[in-house]
């Protein structure tokens, strides 16, 4: 799995985060989307090797009334035993 982290600006409440999650989750190739209102971040999980069009991602966020900052830092998830 590939996980990317983005910054979101303009959110004022947890409902904002939920609307972004729903919009982003509809994009083809995205397995899951998680928005954290407090840290103003969007974490997107895709299948390994699958790329998501960043323009579609940015448009989905913008359509909800927010701004996506393209900081596609890759996150490595370690298993906890």
The pTM is what?
A: 0.80
Calpha distance 43→72 (Å, rounded): 10
Stretch 27-31: mean pLDDT: 91
Q: How far apart are CA 13 and CA 27, in angstroms?
A: 23
What CATH number labels 2-74?
Answer: 3.30.70.100
* For residue 53, pLDDT beyond 90: no
3-state secondary structure 13-76: CHHHHHHHHHHHHCCCCEEEEEEECCCCEEEEEECCCCCCCHHHHHHHHHHCCCEEEEEEEECC
pLDDT, greater one: 66 or 54: 66
**Mean pLDDT on 42-46:** 92
The pairing of strands 2-9 and 41-46 is: antiparallel
The domains of the chain are located at: 2-74
């Amino acid at each position: 799995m590939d996980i990317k982290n983005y910054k979101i600006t303009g959110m004022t409440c947890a409902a904002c985060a939920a609307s972004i999650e729903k919009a982003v989750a509809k994009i083809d190739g995205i397995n899951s989307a998680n928005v954290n209102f407090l840290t103003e971040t969007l974490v997107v999980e895709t299948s390994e090797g699958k790329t998501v069009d960043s323009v579609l991602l940015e448009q989905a966020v913008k359509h909800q009334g927010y701004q996506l900052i393209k900081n596609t830092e890759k996150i490595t998830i370690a298993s906890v035993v």
